[in-house]
Structure 1
């Protein structure tokens, strides 16, 4: 008895702690979004989109780096040296500089002092270097290519976000249909139980509907789980923190107008960013070819140097102005390439092969884009036809169910007919939602193929 009381107290304390924790937890902020707002948020907060913008900043620093090579290069220097043991040089002890007082045929002499110091400035200015101008142009082209890479990344983000957004809408709609189906089957189950208790139906009629009810309930729970998972996927694609919740203010019907889809089927599209990327790569390889070609041209550089040096045998006198002297240099250097073991020739040959490869890819890309547009339009047409058929099929299934229910209530129909009609109605609803989702996905694929994914954003 005492142990039972302790167990009850522990349970009560645990429940109190859980309740207090729930009250202390801050409420999750909910963002109400439509498709346009969702896409705009993703372009600003998706990790890949943000990194693409940072990559563009890196490309801009590359342009500055190349530009700096054509500006004066100035460096300063300072040194302080102490010679503990000054090197000794031996001289012959012979006239006229010999010293008769030294009993040796050589005279030791120290060349150097104990302390030395110096200050200097060196400067160089490129006068002519063909690779500098090519490199500067290449860095700007790289910056343009990086901009196209950013657009391509944003297009990929838009595709993923749109598909995730439609997934949330479909699962939300599935929950509504599943709950409506559950309400309908519960009503039928209550009616059948009442008829059974009145002795006008068999136990198997109740069991049959109970099985259908359990299947429908399972469908409701699965739809709710899928809805939560799809929301988490959308939040990841958007770059939205997990502490936030989202509420979509649109429905599938709002995003699937027939006129817009039919208009999309007649569009020819615009120049795809992949084409622009390939053209910039062609330009970069061409500039690399030009850079390797100008390596045969001499390079000219202006050099200047100014130096102040001082020395003393006493540390205290090393910075005495009397011990310091100036020197300077001004000159021009010309670097003339003579022979490099055919290195430049091999690089030029490689560049020409790369240009051939990219030109082949260019032709293939044009054909591939045309095929992609054709496939996307064909898929969308097919999905629209299937969607219309499934919509009609759902209406027919609803009609069959209503008639079966009326016949059953009037005693001229069987319970089995109602259950089968209900199962067929549920299946037709699921098929219609699937066709609607497929149509939206095909719409996104066609927008991508036509190169119009960003239309309507940031207007």
Structure 2
């Protein structure tokens, strides 16, 4: 946690007075570290860990001495009547009824006591204590899984920003190239060496290129907002990314990733912990057939009087105490415990089946991610070569057009092919980046660099 905080301070210490639209410069690792601390999902996961720690304390407390105090002050507007048989030798012949009504009690009574109990044996307590510890472990795994999901989302969003920046640069270069060509063609048209339709074709191409530039700028803004959302950074702050795609994806790293064995997936740890919790629930339901034993005791002082001002006279107060052991023996509960045990056993079978499926799905996920990354790298290589070829074709078409041996239509088509090759290259580049993140996830390698 201290490492996380250090990273956050490193990013924002120089911006302690950040105002809206001030720029925070971010590397990918900076963005990940900030997101781990500030994304709403990781915040809630850490709060869930605090809840689990409190649950452990709560469960432990049930095995500690329980002490409660009590106080009462009672008033009887009418003292209860007790009926006695009107029979010799204590009968009253002057009373015609066969019972004698007698009031036993006083108008006011009060008491002050302390009750004490200590669990001696309860099988559910020990199982519950272990279950609470296991639940705490599960919330730790949940936090790790949430952090992994945040890292995945931040990486993809960060790459989206980088790709859109490249897209803007290419679109600006295309627009500048088309503007130059349009200017030259207008001059040729005015000199009588080019037709009006030649100017119109290039003007159409220029308008399309300008539209692509505006779309690229919009996509760039949207991708930055998505990155801020994944980071948990307020939208009023402006960010800029400081790395480029080649720095983040060196070829040797990609090749190493394709042969990486990977690590155990956190999802499997979560499932195993859920299985352990279900087994503990089964054990808890089983031990409930056993009796529970508690040590109990109480001390009490009670007083009474016919008048309120005499209730608390010392002569009217008397003490009492009790020490004992109580045992609760379950006999018959309508087979509810048996039903819960059967349900637990079915749940355990479900989780075991899910674990087998999860292991197989992880293998399939790794194979698919490796295949996709290899395929995307091959496509990227082809598109890179295709982009270079499209540039050469455009340069040749431009030279031919300037020398009067090539047509305007040929040049416009070459420019259109170049733009298409650029966007195919960007698409292949982005697909490769996403496939890389997916393979890292499949191998269990998604993590932030905490050494910075």
- Aligned residue number for residue 357 of structure 2: 364
How far is the alpha carbon of 1:306 from its aligned partner? 1.0
Q: 1:42 to 1:455 in 2, by over 3 A?
A: closer
How far is the alpha carbon of 1:256 from its aligned partner? 2.2
- Aligned residue number for residue 121 of structure 2: 128
Aligned partner of residue 28 in structure 1, secondary structure: coil
Aligned partner of residue 212 in structure 2, secondary structure: helix
How far is the alpha carbon of 1:107 from its aligned partner? 4.7
- Match for 1:66 among 45, 59, 69? 59
C-alpha distance in structure 1 between counterparts of 2:352 and 2:233, whole Å: 41
Kindly indicate whether residue 217 of structure 2 is the aligned counterpart of residue 224 of structure 1: yes
- Match for 2:397 among 390, 394, 404? 404
Q: 2:20, 2:236 within 8 Å by CA — same for their partners in 1?
A: no
- Match for 1:428 among 417, 421, 424? 421
Q: 1:455 to 1:42 in 2, by over 3 A?
A: closer
RMSD between aligned residues:
1.6
Kindly indicate whether residue 228 of structure 2 is the aligned counterpart of residue 235 of structure 1: yes
CA deviation profile, 1:165-217 (whole Å, cap 9, x unmatched): 11111111111110110000000000000011011110001001000000000
Q: 1:90 to 1:27 in 2, by over 3 A?
A: closer
C-alpha distance in structure 2 between counterparts of 1:349 and 1:292, whole Å: 10
- Aligned residue number for residue 374 of structure 1: 367
- Match for 1:340 among 303, 320, 333? 333
- Aligned residue number for residue 302 of structure 1: 295
Q: 1:115 to 1:172 in 2, by over 3 A?
A: same
Q: 1:40, 1:458 within 8 Å by CA — same for their partners in 2?
A: no
Q: So what's the TM-score if we normalise by structure 2?
A: 0.93
- Aligned residue number for residue 15 of structure 1: none
- Aligned residue number for residue 443 of structure 1: 436
Q: 1:103 to 1:392 in 2, by over 3 A?
A: closer
How far is the alpha carbon of 1:409 from its aligned partner? 1.2
How far is the alpha carbon of 1:387 from its aligned partner? 0.5
C-alpha distance in structure 2 between counterparts of 1:114 and 1:382, whole Å: 93
- Match for 2:266 among 263, 270, 273? 273
Aligned partner of residue 310 in structure 1, secondary structure: strand
C-alpha distance in structure 2 between counterparts of 1:233 and 1:414, whole Å: 45
How far is the alpha carbon of 1:91 from its aligned partner? 3.9
- Aligned residue number for residue 185 of structure 2: 192
C-alpha distance in structure 1 between counterparts of 2:364 and 2:166, whole Å: 34
Q: 2:393, 2:414 within 8 Å by CA — same for their partners in 1?
A: yes
C-alpha distance in structure 2 between counterparts of 1:92 and 1:55, whole Å: 67
Q: How does 1:27-426 map to 2 (within 5 A)?
A: 27-91=20-84, 96-97=89-90, 107-426=100-419
Q: 1:457 to 1:381 in 2, by over 3 A?
A: farther
C-alpha distance in structure 1 between counterparts of 2:98 and 2:332, whole Å: 52
How far is the alpha carbon of 1:99 from its aligned partner? 6.0
How far is the alpha carbon of 1:294 from its aligned partner? 1.2
Q: 2:290, 2:329 within 8 Å by CA — same for their partners in 1?
A: yes
Aligned partner of residue 241 in structure 1, secondary structure: coil
| Number of residues of Structure 1 aligned to a counterpart in Structure 2 | 434
C-alpha distance in structure 1 between counterparts of 2:262 and 2:333, whole Å: 50
The answer for unaligned runs of 5 or more in structure 2 is: 1-18
C-alpha distance in structure 2 between counterparts of 1:264 and 1:94, whole Å: 103
CA deviation profile, 1:333-360 (whole Å, cap 9, x unmatched): 1111222222222222222222111111
Q: 1:89 to 1:342 in 2, by over 3 A?
A: closer
CA deviation profile, 1:227-263 (whole Å, cap 9, x unmatched): 1111111111110001101100111222221111001
Q: 1:296, 1:337 within 8 Å by CA — same for their partners in 2?
A: yes
Q: 2:20, 2:237 within 8 Å by CA — same for their partners in 1?
A: no
Q: So what's the TM-score if we normalise by structure 1?
A: 0.91
- Aligned residue number for residue 3 of structure 1: none
Q: 1:391 to 1:104 in 2, by over 3 A?
A: closer
How far is the alpha carbon of 1:361 from its aligned partner? 1.0
How far is the alpha carbon of 1:27 from its aligned partner? 4.8
- Aligned residue number for residue 11 of structure 1: none
